[in-house]
A and B are shown apart, each in its own frame.
Chain A
């Protein structure tokens, strides 16, 4: 802790260390798989225990782990960040930021034009809406994980709170989407603060576990509070969004009839697309602004060094709570959108897997980077669809692709941080220096 952080040394590259790592991995695999795969037990016809061994499969699995370790290690040395790259970060960084400068507007223009280009392709539009939903969720979680450095594994809870807020308010009281949307955000933020209180003193792994539990608790409450939420049956008949009061259907005072054009169900899809695009861009705009305000700088400072923050008179409690609340609010917005898009919500949509997916998007994107999160959401959701043809092997290929990306860019796709204020020139900061937070 005494010396200023220097570049970490390159891991040992010798053949011996390579073999040693692979051997250790193979050994671990042997211990794990010998019980999981090597021996099978089953209740026999008379209820007696029968078992048989599968040493062949076991051997091949261990061999795969051994070979795989070597391959991954070689790949890491081959395409991973090299010492040379770390020594010349300015050039790399300026190159990256140059790409970043043109990539962002280009992506934005393309996104706005998606419904025009793909008007007839319902599948692409649906996929684009899905990607944008995850972009928004990623940006929301990015406030908590990327900026404030608080590892939140229960983000889906706020998504659920937002979805159920809209679903229940709309079906029980008939309130419109535009009234329910802010309410869903506020309710989710409220739950964010509630979650924030007990976990304020926790850090790292402990924080992750408690937030994970919180996500599960919300889901279990939804399942069991049958009278309110409909339990496992969910809430159905949630009103579709209207174009500021004008329904998007083929009725006489519907959107198409009023405009005097022929009704098409695509109108609603396009409207949903622009709705989630607007919500996502709002999230992005607010986050970018917050980052340049004292509260945003305090979030990042908190991620860098909490003790130093306290020594500077920053109330770390309220700073963490505002991060939780802000992230949760965006999650709530996204949830309300999800409910109105689906027309039906059930607890099944809000499992831990969703939290993990959103977190993966944030980590893959490069923690704290808005553009990175958007690219990661596109890669994760779009890429997953891309592999649809592979059927059974889809997950496997997808997982391998993620491992490769993380070897190639361990700090995420966008591996640098842009300063929030500058005197003469905004220089990108290499993410080697940026802390990930301790919880």
Chain B
């Protein structure tokens, strides 16, 4: 586990391969995500983007390859060896889902409180201190509510804090899910198609939110997105996948002008757009 701290990259994916039986969803994929930058992972449907996310966040165990996360303090964590909840808890990688996964029967505030579970668990003395109502826990809970309130304000949902998440409009649910992921105070935030199903105005607000997360909080972001207006506007670096392999990477400008990308992805733009629209309703 020797540290390969070249440059200032937070995430290094090295020859990642993921097979499902005969299907090779991701093959020998290598890329890096820089600290405090927005890295976008794009490609047509079925390219293997969500699979890469699932490998990074521990929902799949990669067939081969290495995924290294380097924290601010230089600690290097081999993500492919940790499993599911430990990646969020110890490696501080948070994610959202392509199909929103909120807790629909809980309020927006409760959703954000659940996100702070580990910190609150410790503060509640693993429930014992909390059960007797110790002041330590009450202070911690107050701080947790403050953090949640702050995030509700940031995503413009403060007035709906006490509404059930299942009652929210689609765009609001997407923003709430991002707020929930941010309440885990992650080092790396992975967003799977956050703009899917949003209208133009909501997409623009989303771009602004992601930029503020990067610039004001210094959180690194890994982003899967089909909405090219969002991707091209906010990404610092773009990795393009097709059929499980990387076909190009570079700045938005470089990628946009790459003939391979145009052939594989932008060529299919219309169909893509239709597919995305349909999956979003």
CB distance from B190 to the nearest CB of A (A): 9
User: Nearest B residue to A316 by beta-carbon distance?
Assistant: B85
Q: A2-B280, A427-B162, A433-B167 are in contact. Are A420 and B131 (CB under 8 A)?
A: no
Bitwise, A290-309 to B at CB < 8 A (1) or not (0) is 10011101101100110111
From the candidates B87, B162, B173, B180, name the one contacting A424 in the complex (CB within 8 A): B162
Q: Which B residues touch A2, using CB under 8 A?
A: 99-100, 197, 279-281
Are B280 and A430 neighbours in the complex by a CB distance under 8 Å?
A: no
Chain B CB within 8 A of A312 CB: yes
User: Nearest A residue to B140 by beta-carbon distance?
Assistant: A294
User: Nearest B residue to A311 by beta-carbon distance?
Assistant: B95
Are B105 and A433 neighbours in the complex by a CB distance under 8 Å?
A: yes
User: Nearest B residue to A297 by beta-carbon distance?
Assistant: B114
Are A433 and B104 neighbours in the complex by a CB distance under 8 Å?
A: yes
Are B117 and A429 neighbours in the complex by a CB distance under 8 Å?
A: no
User: Nearest B residue to A429 by beta-carbon distance?
Assistant: B164
Q: Which A residues touch B109, using CB under 8 A?
A: 419, 421-423
Q: Which B residues touch A5, using CB under 8 A?
A: 104, 166
Are A293 and B114 neighbours in the complex by a CB distance under 8 Å?
A: no
Q: Which A residues touch B173, using CB under 8 A?
A: 4
Q: Which A residues touch B89, using CB under 8 A?
A: 313, 315
| Among B58, B114, B121, B279: residue with most chain A CB under 10 A | B114
Q: Which A residues touch B104, using CB under 8 A?
A: 4-5, 304, 433-435
From the candidates A289, A295, A307, A425, name the one contacting B121 in the complex (CB within 8 A): A295
Q: A5-B166, A311-B57, A419-B106 are in contact. Are A297 and B127 (CB under 8 A)?
A: no
From the candidates A289, A300, A308, A425, name the one contacting B162 in the complex (CB within 8 A): A425
User: Nearest A residue to B145 by beta-carbon distance?
Assistant: A421
For chain A, which range describes its interface: under 10, 10 to 19, 20 to 34, or 35 or more residues? 35 or more
Complex interface residues of chain B between 98 and 124 (CB less than 8 A to chain A): 99-107, 109-110, 113-118, 120-121, 124
CB distance from A239 to the nearest CB of B (A): 31
CB distance from A422 to the nearest CB of B (A): 5
Chain A CB within 8 A of B274 CB: no
Q: Which A residues touch B34, using CB under 8 A?
A: none
Q: A311-B88, A422-B162, A426-B162 are in contact. Are A3 and B106 (CB under 8 A)?
A: no
User: Nearest A residue to B162 by beta-carbon distance?
Assistant: A422
Chain B CB within 8 A of A240 CB: no
Bitwise, A411-439 to B at CB < 8 A (1) or not (0) is 00000010111111111011101110000
Chain B CB within 8 A of A63 CB: no
User: Nearest B residue to A433 by beta-carbon distance?
Assistant: B166
Q: Which A residues touch B86, using CB under 8 A?
A: 313
Are A312 and B184 neighbours in the complex by a CB distance under 8 Å?
A: yes
User: Nearest B residue to A314 by beta-carbon distance?
Assistant: B117
Q: Which B residues touch A424, using CB under 8 A?
A: 161-162
Are A423 and B161 neighbours in the complex by a CB distance under 8 Å?
A: yes
Are A293 and B124 neighbours in the complex by a CB distance under 8 Å?
A: yes
From the candidates A305, A425, A426, name the one contacting B102 in the complex (CB within 8 A): A305
Please report the C-alpha to C-alpha distance between residue A347 and residue B163 in the assembled complex, in whole angstroms: 48
Are B130 and A294 neighbours in the complex by a CB distance under 8 Å?
A: yes
CB distance from B159 to the nearest CB of A (A): 9
Q: Which B residues touch A286, using CB under 8 A?
A: 131
User: Nearest B residue to A305 by beta-carbon distance?
Assistant: B101
User: Nearest B residue to A307 by beta-carbon distance?
Assistant: B101
Residues of chain B at interface, number, CB under 8 A: 57
Q: Which B residues touch A312, using CB under 8 A?
A: 85, 88, 94, 114-115, 117, 180-181, 184
Q: A294-B120, A421-B145 are in contact. Are A301 and B103 (CB under 8 A)?
A: yes
User: Nearest A residue to B86 by beta-carbon distance?
Assistant: A313
Q: Which A residues touch B113, using CB under 8 A?
A: 294, 297, 420-421
Are B85 and A298 neighbours in the complex by a CB distance under 8 Å?
A: no
Bitwise, A361-373 to B at CB < 8 A (1) or not (0) is 0000000000000
User: Nearest B residue to A315 by beta-carbon distance?
Assistant: B85
Please report the C-alpha to C-alpha distance between residue A309 and residue B110 in the assembled complex, in whole angstroms: 13
Please report the C-alpha to C-alpha distance between residue A5 and residue B167 in the assembled complex, in whole angstroms: 8
Chain A CB within 8 A of B97 CB: yes
Complex interface residues of chain B between 145 and 168 (CB less than 8 A to chain A): 145, 149, 158, 161-164, 166-168
CB distance from B157 to the nearest CB of A (A): 11
Chain A CB within 8 A of B269 CB: no
User: Nearest A residue to B91 by beta-carbon distance?
Assistant: A313
Chain B CB within 8 A of A109 CB: no
CB distance from A97 to the nearest CB of B (A): 13
Please report the C-alpha to C-alpha distance between residue A424 and residue B161 in the assembled complex, in whole angstroms: 8
Please report the C-alpha to C-alpha distance between residue A412 and residue B198 in the assembled complex, in whole angstroms: 36
Chain A CB within 8 A of B263 CB: no
Q: A300-B106, A304-B106, A427-B162 are in contact. Are A310 and B88 (CB under 8 A)?
A: yes
User: Nearest A residue to B83 by beta-carbon distance?
Assistant: A310
Chain B CB within 8 A of A1 CB: yes
Please report the C-alpha to C-alpha distance between residue A184 and residue B117 in the assembled complex, in whole angstroms: 30
Please report the C-alpha to C-alpha distance between residue A163 and residue B161 in the assembled complex, in whole angstroms: 45
From the candidates A3, A301, A426, name the one contacting B170 in the complex (CB within 8 A): A3
Q: Which B residues touch A294, using CB under 8 A?
A: 113, 116-117, 120-121, 124, 127, 130
Are B166 and A301 neighbours in the complex by a CB distance under 8 Å?
A: no
Chain A CB within 8 A of B84 CB: yes
| Among A293, A316, A435: residue with most chain B CB under 10 A | A293
Are A308 and B107 neighbours in the complex by a CB distance under 8 Å?
A: no
Please report the C-alpha to C-alpha distance between residue A112 and residue B281 in the assembled complex, in whole angstroms: 54
Please report the C-alpha to C-alpha distance between residue A174 and residue B184 in the assembled complex, in whole angstroms: 52
User: Nearest A residue to B57 by beta-carbon distance?
Assistant: A311
Please report the C-alpha to C-alpha distance between residue A424 and residue B84 in the assembled complex, in whole angstroms: 35
Q: Which B residues touch A420, using CB under 8 A?
A: 110, 113
Please report the C-alpha to C-alpha distance between residue A88 and residue B124 in the assembled complex, in whole angstroms: 38
Q: Which of B's residues lie within 8 Å of A, judged by CB?
A: 57-59, 84-89, 94-95, 97, 99-107, 109-110, 113-118, 120-121, 124, 127, 130-131, 137, 141, 145, 149, 158, 161-164, 166-170, 173, 180-181, 184, 197, 279-281
12 more CB-based (< 8 A) A-B contacts, given A311-B101, A313-B117, A421-B141: A293-B127, A293-B130, A294-B113, A295-B124, A298-B114, A307-B101, A308-B97, A312-B184, A313-B88, A315-B89, A426-B162, A430-B164
